Chain A
């Protein structure tokens, strides 16, 4: 161990950091409202919250990716100005992102050296190597320095990311869901090491998480965000999981549900039996999903994102190949094809409609015609299209669904998010619907659009459609669903009628309890 390395890397103290009154708005939307957190030196602090609660906005403000509208950051008790990630780095604040930022084809040593701000144009590798070896000596864990990063496991890459921060002398670390890509074993090892380093006062960690178990086992303190507000904080060891869950998911009563007509005893409409599919990398994305949905029923699928919900929706929409299992509608086998979508009256509202349900450069009228362009009155003889009927129908639906657009001929990409979703709703819900597949229909929309779109979905249910609603917003599921199912690890882990469950039970199943 060289004296130099000891001086620069081991004796430095972990800093404390406070964010005071952080506020950030995007247009009319308050992503972060007067949030203050206080992370003591050498503590392992958890930042809890659902998707969209404002966790990433907060850390992006701290890191200088966003400039907050109000609020300040104090480092070791003194106010610091952070205008860019470069400033954050100069102050010794570093972040490990959910998706690794290492260069896969370079070795660990090369990745560390090029990450420095002062890398010379010509690198003296022999000298760098000596410094690196000395540095590694002082670390509580090691990574093979000469192997290309692409050959490292996810856990080793994570370790290397953390080593990188230490190498850059960034002793306040923000970790964004660091265990989401790790196996449970790797995760425990990783968090144990971080915990040890915090205990020894070498680093201070702020970790974004929504896994209660990890927080309870490894963290010292926690803060909870919900809808851009701080809803609670406390001692991670002593606070019960139920309390954390309540702070995270909330216990305020949701606003009045969209009018729900009684639909008892309708026959089963949609049945999913043992569905399996793979993700783009060829790994299992969903395995053995079983679910039955009756006509006039909304089944809400809750779950932490990345547990197979999007693969399930893609399978039903024909965007992903089913490797095993059967979909039946009214007892008949269903395969997603244009003819079958019409014959079985299957409609869909995919998430991010601009990306999944429209052609951004085509006009609103053309986008509204996607379901009907090959049928009368738009098509005659099955192939000749008439613009007149297409436009007439578009104008009628634009008026009925209150889509705000300058003209039916405007490219749909010029519309706001809520109006794109309304245009898609107009296209998918204007006819007879037997099965409706909905995914995060209100993500990123303003309140008026949200209420409008949810009541349209409820109306489709009231008219007798079987609705599968995948949502990351638990409030949305509680407002709309007749039954709730929780997806975890690519399969359905829990199903219950909505009256017989509550947020806490659902939240715990979501978190894998």
Chain B
């Protein structure tokens, strides 16, 4: 075969490689979603429920009204941040599933630092940034530690970050039920409420808290960092082939730890908003599974920070519709979790299809001999 010349003509005949890869990375997750919906429909039919009604209710409960849309966005906000917490380490080749722990610890740190500041009467515009910083620092150090263990001690990051999550949750319980407990919180041990004056309000004109804006800004910023900066390039080289990265003299250990710090800071920030905007205090409500759903979000988004946004909104809608489904279809709230689980399994399976669907494959460069 002859070599395909590098000319405009050949470019026109066939879509460019970038376009093909992009189309593939949209097609496969969408197909995975469709297959999951199909399997879930079978599940519903087996229960004697109408799949049509279910998906209709998802739409109504997730996007149908201004109220449900805001409910969706409210739930999407932490998912964007925890999705980023998985996506960023994934770019450097790590499967870091400790977002839940970083979120919980971030929330606890924010609530803990708020106690003396609120008591001393430090104004909110100083207190809130300090709380956010404490949350990001705690989350960052938590995941950063798992990254450090990975590179410098060879500890599997998936296992260590998962176990660190349990330690984080136990630590939160320890403090919330111990020294940081507000004596007034009788039934549900919590830290002292930060008070309405210190609460972060909603984005004007909506009921959605500012965590959504933070998530959007961070997703865009991290997307730019990963695709357009030397740091992101070095991280992608390391994630793609650590041996090649070492041979290029890249500081592999430092890159890994920094990516993990950034990831943990995102999850920690989600914890901050849960405390400062949603609950007003740290308690067991922080352990809501946002960290784990974030893994699913990042997977469906193919670890692309920008794609985390729409996927997080989709999962926010699923969660928001849970209540409606419970009321209207007489099914437990956990039904939505069944769907989530199905999506995850199908999605993991769909990973094996990359590079195997002939339509999306560029022609191989042929060697002239």
Q: Which residues of A come within 8 Å of B, CB atoms?
A: 28, 317-319, 336-341, 348, 350, 355-363, 366, 369-371, 373-374, 379, 382-385, 395, 398, 404-407, 409-411, 414-416, 418-419, 446, 448
Per the 8 Å Cβ criterion, residues 232-252 of B in contact with A are 233-234, 236-237, 240-241, 243-244, 246-251
Which residues does chain B contribute within 8 Å of A366, judged by CB atoms?
233
Q: A28-B369, A358-B244 are in contact. List 15 more A-B contacts (CB 8 A).
A: A336-B249, A338-B250, A339-B249, A341-B249, A357-B247, A371-B248, A379-B230, A383-B231, A385-B233, A395-B6, A405-B6, A406-B4, A409-B18, A410-B17, A416-B366
A319 pairs with B249, CB closer than 8 A? no
CB closest chain-A residue, reference B4: A406
B244 pairs with A373, CB closer than 8 A? no
CB closest chain-A residue, reference B19: A409
Which residues does chain A contribute within 8 Å of B234, judged by CB atoms?
373-374
A406 pairs with B362, CB closer than 8 A? yes
Q: Which residues of B come within 8 Å of A, CB atoms?
A: 3-4, 6, 10-11, 16-18, 228-231, 233-234, 236-237, 240-241, 243-244, 246-251, 362-369
B249 pairs with A318, CB closer than 8 A? yes
B365 pairs with A404, CB closer than 8 A? yes
Nearest Cβ on chain B to A305's Cβ, whole angstroms? 18
Nearest Cβ on chain A to B297's Cβ, whole angstroms? 22
In the docked arrangement, what's the CA distance between A248 and B363, Å? 41
Of B10, B11, B233, B363, the most chain A CB neighbours within 10 A belong to B233
A410 pairs with B367, CB closer than 8 A? no
Nearest Cβ on chain B to A506's Cβ, whole angstroms? 28
A319 pairs with B248, CB closer than 8 A? no
B237 pairs with A341, CB closer than 8 A? no
In the docked arrangement, what's the CA distance between A153 and B6, Å? 58
Which residues does chain A contribute within 8 Å of B18, judged by CB atoms?
409
Nearest Cβ on chain B to A206's Cβ, whole angstroms? 34
Given A383-B230, A384-B229, does the pair A406, B363 have CB atoms closer than 8 Å? yes
For B244, give its contact among A28, A341, A370 (CB under 8 Å).
A370
B233 pairs with A341, CB closer than 8 A? no
A406 pairs with B17, CB closer than 8 A? yes
Given A359-B237, A410-B362, A446-B369, does the pair A385, B243 have CB atoms closer than 8 Å? no
In the docked arrangement, what's the CA distance between A419 and B17, Å? 18
Given A359-B236, A409-B18, does the pair A416, B244 have CB atoms closer than 8 Å? no
Mind listing 30 A-B residue pairs with CB under 8 Å? A319-B243, A319-B246, A319-B247, A336-B249, A337-B251, A341-B248, A348-B247, A355-B241, A356-B244, A358-B244, A366-B233, A369-B233, A374-B234, A382-B230, A383-B230, A383-B231, A385-B228, A398-B6, A404-B368, A405-B6, A406-B364, A406-B365, A407-B362, A409-B18, A411-B17, A416-B367, A418-B367, A419-B365, A419-B367, A446-B369
B367 pairs with A404, CB closer than 8 A? yes
A384 pairs with B228, CB closer than 8 A? yes
B367 pairs with A414, CB closer than 8 A? no
Which residues does chain A contribute within 8 Å of B11, judged by CB atoms?
407
B249 pairs with A405, CB closer than 8 A? no
B230 pairs with A317, CB closer than 8 A? no
Nearest Cβ on chain A to B303's Cβ, whole angstroms? 13
Which residues does chain A contribute within 8 Å of B229, judged by CB atoms?
383-385
In the docked arrangement, what's the CA distance between A404 and B368, Å? 9
For A338, give its contact among B17, B251, B366 (CB under 8 Å).
B251
Nearest Cβ on chain B to A205's Cβ, whole angstroms? 38
Nearest Cβ on chain B to A372's Cβ, whole angstroms? 11
In the docked arrangement, what's the CA distance between A370 and B3, Å? 26
In the docked arrangement, what's the CA distance between A363 and B20, Å? 13
Which residues does chain B contribute within 8 Å of A418, judged by CB atoms?
367
Nearest Cβ on chain B to A154's Cβ, whole angstroms? 25
Which residues does chain A contribute within 8 Å of B3, judged by CB atoms?
404
For A446, give its contact among B231, B363, B367 (CB under 8 Å).
B367
Given A406-B362, A410-B17, does the pair A370, B237 have CB atoms closer than 8 Å? yes
Nearest Cβ on chain B to A101's Cβ, whole angstroms? 27
In the docked arrangement, what's the CA distance between A398 and B3, Å? 14
Nearest Cβ on chain B to A461's Cβ, whole angstroms? 21
Nearest Cβ on chain A to B363's Cβ, whole angstroms? 6
Nearest Cβ on chain B to A431's Cβ, whole angstroms? 14
Nearest Cβ on chain B to A235's Cβ, whole angstroms? 41
Which residues does chain B contribute within 8 Å of A371, judged by CB atoms?
248
Which residues does chain A contribute within 8 Å of B237, judged by CB atoms?
359, 362, 370
In the docked arrangement, what's the CA distance between A364 and B4, Å? 16
List of 4 A-B pairs having minimum Cβ-Cβ separation, nearest first: A359-B240, A338-B249, A374-B230, A416-B367
In the docked arrangement, what's the CA distance between A150 and B125, Å? 64
In the docked arrangement, what's the CA distance between A361 and B93, Å? 13
In the docked arrangement, what's the CA distance between A385 and B226, Å? 11
A358 pairs with B17, CB closer than 8 A? no
CB closest chain-A residue, reference B229: A383
